[in-house]
Structure 1
Amino acid sequence: MKITAEIIAEIVGARFATDNMRSIVEGLEAYGYERLGLDQPHRLAAYIAQTAHESGRYRYDREIWGPTRAQARYDTRTDLGNTLERDGDGFKYRGRTGIQITGKRNTMRFWHWCKQRFPNRLVPNFVENPDAMNTDPWEGLGPLWYWEENDLNKWSDRGDMETLTKRINGGLNGYADRLSLYIRAALVLLGYGPKDVLLFQQHAGLVVDGDAGPLTRAALHEWLSDGEAMAA
């Protein structure tokens, strides 16, 4: 199945689809469906949940800069490919796209990936101009690069949102919100409203209590994996 910006807006609770949502859709159309199998509903639900959280429900396509204490340390984060000198590369290579590509090393990897995957396209030099990552079609491809680079379908196929979150975040920051977005995405892709937990539980033969706990999430994953999702 395929998704639209309007369906994404319904999932995240936005009144209107945004340009960032449309970039996500364009990326899926260009690469995600055919090459990564994100037309499979269980993968798509996980992908939308994680990118929606990382981007503040698609409100932001670049990291909000304080700088916080953690951000101030970016400047000398050699593990991100930045230099040891405080020369401003932490700010220059702050997170961008719907998955928050951060650091010179990841920026360079994404740039090379785009050139390899789209040899007939003129790919901007993201290392020289990181803001170019937030132009189409590259903005919608950023999360797909990260998804492929880190084999995140492996955890989506298992319905393991906890490990998936750790692979993206490095920990479990925002895990409750990611789960909430996954539940909303799964329900909408199955043809329910984003809050129809009770109705789904009734149809799935579960305890009808409105609590989307492990059993309900497992049933959502099973239904999505079995192709019960609505046709888009």
Structure 2
Amino acid sequence: MKAVTAAHVRAAAKTRVNESNLNSVMIALDRYAVEFGLHLPHRAIAFVAQLMHESGEFRYDREVWGPTPAQARYDTRTDLGNTPEADGDGYKNRGRGPIQVTGAYNIRAFYDWCKRKGLNPPDFGSNPDFINSDPWEGLSAIWYWDEGNPDRKSLNRYADRNDPEMITLRINGGLNGYAERLACYTRLGLVVLGFSPLDIRGFQGKAKTAGLYKGNLDGLDGPQTRAAIHLMLVGLSPKDPSAVVKAAPVTEETIVAVTPPSLDAPWWKSKEVIVPVVTGGGLSSGLAAVGSMPWQNLALVLLSFVGVVVFLLWRKSLDTKAVNEQIKVLA
């Protein structure tokens, strides 16, 4: 029995999916899920939920090209493995697949991974469009999950401990769209467990009866609900020693997702300029905090200090003038 099917995804999606794009992912999972540990339901749901968000619920399997200002810079981004010359390789190596394999470096890394796995891939470097053929399109997402992410390790360990925040950070680099990623996980998890994608209250009732949910039957998608979904999905895993999940599930804390400032935004519009507050540790910790401030923050602190000094001198001059006037009256 498959952990996740195309029918599950269609039922969980809020919009109509592109069947060809979805089928590419299903083909790769059918062939390689067991090899990469994605045959376990709690891992498969975590994996596919991220792809649902990244691909616009499988509507896109390649980067929509403007070019935007960021895309225009691809052409000379050597950090992506592209050449420093404006020779068109930015467009050539634009993102492909449900998780957007982008740049010559990543395309080569995906190719090398396929070779090491004995998969006999075509030459993605000479023609990156091969990534959008089967089974490579779905495999490109499995590659990123398995090794292409910043950890260079499988993200299964984060799925095992029910840590969607870390999965998102490793896939996105930040927490963009985090709330929607969680919603995709909940909808898909409910469908796989036999519920309507919106029947959170019904699931909570069943999970409470099973001792997996301690919260209120409020029909809200929160951390306790997702933790119960995780536990119930783990219960669907094959009962064999290789499928044992050793890491205990965790209930993630509520966090506020912050969109990183645009590369083109001036520093004064950035939400990242924050004045730190020294709460203890004396002079040494205070100096350390000041030393670690961005120059914008330090300038604000110095201006504030100068303003206070000027105000105090002004007040002192007023007091001195008042005293002199009083002396004249007494004389």
1:190·1:228 contact (CA, 8 Å) conserved in 2? no
Say which of 173, 180, 185 aligns to 1:182.
185
Say which of 225, 229, 251 aligns to 1:220.
229
Task: Show CA shifts across 1:154-192 (max 9, x none).
Answer: 111111111100100100111111111011111111111
Write the distance in 2 (CA, Å) between the matches of 1:155 and 1:125.
32
State the SS of the aligned residue for 1:172. coil
Match runs of 1:1-232 below 5 Å: 1-2=1-2, 3-15=4-16, 18-31=19-32, 33-119=33-119, 121=120, 123-149=121-147, 150=149, 151-205=154-208, 206-227=215-236
Write the distance in 2 (CA, Å) between the matches of 1:38 and 1:14.
25
Alpha carbons of 1:16 and 1:128: their partners in 2 closer, same or farther (altered >3 Å)?
closer
Give the deviation of 1:228 after TM superposition.
Answer: 7.6
State the SS of the aligned residue for 1:212. coil
Give the deviation of 1:118 after TM superposition.
Answer: 3.2
Q: Percent identity?
A: 53
Give the deviation of 1:207 after TM superposition.
Answer: 0.8
Report the AA paired with residue 174 of structure 1.
G
Give the deviation of 1:14 after TM superposition.
Answer: 4.4
State the SS of the aligned residue for 1:202. helix
Report the AA paired with residue 130 of structure 1.
P
Larger Rg: 2
Regions of 4+ moved over 4 Å: 14-17
Write the distance in 2 (CA, Å) between the matches of 1:87 and 1:113.
27
TM-score scaled to structure 1, two decimals? Answer: 0.92
Report the AA paired with residue 219 of structure 2.
G
Report the AA paired with residue 18 of structure 1.
E
Write the distance in 2 (CA, Å) between the matches of 1:86 and 1:61.
25
RMSD of aligned residue pairs (Cα, Å): 1.7
State the SS of the aligned residue for 1:36. coil
Write the distance in 1 (CA, Å) between the matches of 2:222 and 2:216.
11
1:161·1:179 contact (CA, 8 Å) conserved in 2? yes
State the SS of the aligned residue for 2:231. helix
State the SS of the aligned residue for 2:115. helix
Write the distance in 1 (CA, Å) between the matches of 2:19 and 2:110.
24
TM-score scaled to structure 2, two decimals? Answer: 0.65
